[in-house]
Amino acid sequence: MKRKLLAELNLPQDLKKLSLAELEELAAEIREELQQIVSRRPAHFASNLGVVELCLALHRVFDFPRDHLIWDTGHQIYPHKMITGRYPLMHTIRTKGGLMGYPNPKESPYDLFMTGHAGCSISCALGLRVGDDLLQRRSRTIAVIGDGALPSGIVFEALNNAGELQKDLLVILNDNRMAICPRVGALARYLDRARMHPIYGDIKSHIQRALARVPVVGSQLERAFVQAKEGMKAFLHGGMLFEELGWRYVGPVDGHDLASLIEYLELLRDVKGPLILHVFTEKGRGFPPAERDPVRFHTPAPFVWEKGEVIPIKRGKAETYTDVMSRSIYRAMEQDPRVVAITAAMCEGNKLQKVRQDFPDRFFDTGITESHAVAFAAGLAKSGIRPIAAIYSTFLQRAYDQLFQEVALQNMPVVFCLDRAGLTGPDGPTHHGAFDIAYLRALPNFVLMAPGDAQDVPLMLQFALQRKGPTAIRYPKDKAAVLSRQVAPVEEGKAELIYDGVHGALLVYGNLLVQAVGARELLLERGLDVAVVNARFARPLDEELILRLAREMPFLITIEEGTLCGGFGSAVLELLNQHGMGAAHVRRLGLPDRFIEHGERSELLADLGLDAEGIAAAAMEMAAAAGLGRSEQVGRRVG
């Protein structure tokens, strides 16, 4: 029976006992396990295949967690989890109650930060390094960051600060020429120059030693040799940018050559000052289909690999809200040449591939640079262009100052399409779009909308593109629901009454409208006739309708898939307070004041009381508190 090295590993220190041949065998086992994971459920695949050797080399050379390791954009964490005591639990990854698909300090002391957003690893690592120095603790600090995250503004802020402080810090630049999609920007071209000079990694140290030994006499001759030396470095050196910032640059190194990786890391382990080790890896390494198409295999649908063929595990594929929005954006760009689309390295996630293909001059992928993307959109809007910025809700948080300063304060007509608003399921707390209602509602000039179903999406986008100020449309990572109704036109600050009622009202902001309609059907069976309102707007509110319902109905329940702190329900309470009305008969349903863990979206909604049963149960409690009994009256359909 073939030896299973993964099953024998208890701690990363066990790697130090393995031969190089055994480490190569372990790398193959890890890749086999990654294939097993994606045969069970959607999971990050290509990125994890690409860092197997790098992960093993790091744990072989350093002593974590005494030393510090931070993985930037932690979806590449699976090999690390396997060799830090969590291999027996890998079958639970991305399931409710199981391992998270990102680093999680609650799981293991080997995970230092819950890194789901890109670019922050160097800053955090520098803080750890300075903290250990102040506390006189002996340790080494390493950050692994990808080339896709490198353009993030915070990366350069950290490089600049670390270059000044000259602390002992090792940054591994994991260069696979990809973010989720192929990387973009001038920095990508800069890094590619290093790939064009593969001999540099072998001859660099010899040339530098030779140049350092050249004798110089007199200031003029010294200047000449210095110029020659710098010219040679500029010609050969892929890391001049980093060295000018105060970092020593080493590389490039083959990130799949375990022996070389271990040798380089051992050589650099005790070198003083900030260091960058430039490592070339291949996203999807070891799995030919992922090597050929790393975008498709970033987070593929479940499949099995048989006889050299990818066989999808068939599951129903329904149209999503993202599909509907991307199609609406495409149509808007067809109709108006002033409309442009902007994404921050999420063309694939936002499903804008067709827009990129058919409107290349009006499609802008800025890379992982949300702050720049928002300010860039403001500049476009100022010039008379109508920009649509399609950015995940959780990632738009990274550009909050630009939302305030360049967009809201200037009242720029930028349209924000906030994908993944609400619960994103297995991606967990780093990716749940929980806070956009609250953080945008505070900004003057903004209009906030959320479609109740798929039919609202194109209408809301058309409305937003006609406004003279900023607008945000939030929508979930979920299949697109369609309610059977005569859809009302979108008018600023006007809600849509879906069902009238007599015993109470369910006031819904966003796609939980479908759950509310389901709750109404359950309540009718229990003798309660409630109104259901598609609020559509969180800013401005439909004040007339909400105040009428608050006066006439025995109870009012607000429903949203966002944090209750500062959310849509809070806006309703503020409105009632402004008009001197009590709110004892109002209840808010939404995300509680804590970070929500990962799990299937349906599981999370049920746990939080946001599914049809949970909403109905809340309504029954409110009805009981209002002294309502059973009623023979039934609701009447409106529209």
Shared domain for 276 and 361, answered yes or no, is no
Confirm if 483 and 513 have CB atoms less than 8 A apart.
Answer: yes
Q: Which of 177, 204, 283, 539 is catalytic?
A: 283
Shared domain for 116 and 72, answered yes or no, is yes
Within a 10 A sphere around the Cβ of 244, how many other Cβ atoms? 10
pLDDT of residue 199: 42
Instruction: Let me know if residue 482 belongs to a domain.
Output: no
* Grouped pLDDT means (10 residues each) for the chain, 639 residues: 77 90 92 86 83 94 93 89 92 91 91 88 93 92 89 89 93 79 65 55 42 44 43 51 86 90 91 92 80 75 72 76 97 97 92 95 93 96 97 96 96 98 93 97 98 98 98 96 94 97 97 97 96 98 97 97 97 97 96 94 96 97 85 37
CATH number, position 95: 3.40.50.970
**Hey, which residues does 253 pair with through a beta bridge?**
279
Shared domain for 165 and 287, answered yes or no, is yes
Instruction: Let me know if residue 245 belongs to a domain.
Output: yes
Shared domain for 233 and 246, answered yes or no, is no
| Residue 398 falls in the annotated catalytic set | yes
Angle made by CA atoms 271, 273, 279, in degrees to the nearest 5: 70
Shared domain for 213 and 248, answered yes or no, is no
Shared domain for 227 and 127, answered yes or no, is no
Instruction: Let me know if residue 300 belongs to a domain.
Output: no
What distances in angstroms separate CA 4 from CA 1, 7, 25, 53, 417, one per listed residue?
A: 9, 6, 9, 18, 48
Residue that terminates a domain, selected from 429, 444, 474? 474
pLDDT of residue 354: 96
Which residues touch 391 (CB under 8 Å, ≥6 apart)? Answer: 343, 344, 346, 370, 373, 374, 399, 416, 417, 418, 419
CATH number, position 508: 3.40.50.920
Q: Considering Cα of 491, then 496, then 502, then 503, what sign does the dihedral take?
A: negative
Residue numbers of the domain that contains 508:
496-625
Q: Indicate the DSSP class of residue 183.
A: P
pTM for the complete prediction? 0.87
Shared domain for 209 and 193, answered yes or no, is no
**Both tokens assigned to 172:** 């591994």
pLDDT of residue 191: 67
Instruction: Let me know if residue 490 belongs to a domain.
Output: no
Phi then psi dihedrals of residue 571, to 5 deg: -60, -40
pLDDT of residue 184: 65
Shared domain for 189 and 202, answered yes or no, is no
Shared domain for 142 and 228, answered yes or no, is no
| Residue 317 falls in the annotated catalytic set | no
Which residues touch 26 (CB under 8 Å, ≥6 apart)? Answer: 5, 6, 9, 15, 18, 56
Instruction: Let me know if residue 618 belongs to a domain.
Output: yes
pLDDT of residue 189: 66
| Residue 283 falls in the annotated catalytic set | yes
Shared domain for 156 and 118, answered yes or no, is yes
Which residues touch 192 (CB under 8 Å, ≥6 apart)? Answer: 177
Count of domains forming the chain: 4
pLDDT of residue 632: 39
Shared domain for 12 and 126, answered yes or no, is yes
Instruction: Let me know if residue 305 belongs to a domain.
Output: no
**Both tokens assigned to 162:** 């670390």
Instruction: Let me know if residue 488 belongs to a domain.
Output: no
Q: Which of 129, 140, 386, 398 is catalytic?
A: 398
Q: Indicate the DSSP class of residue 84.
A: I
pLDDT of residue 305: 74
Instruction: Let me know if residue 599 belongs to a domain.
Output: yes
Shared domain for 229 and 141, answered yes or no, is no
- Whole-number Å distance between alpha carbons of 279 and 350: 29
Q: Which of 282, 370, 496, 560 is catalytic?
A: 370
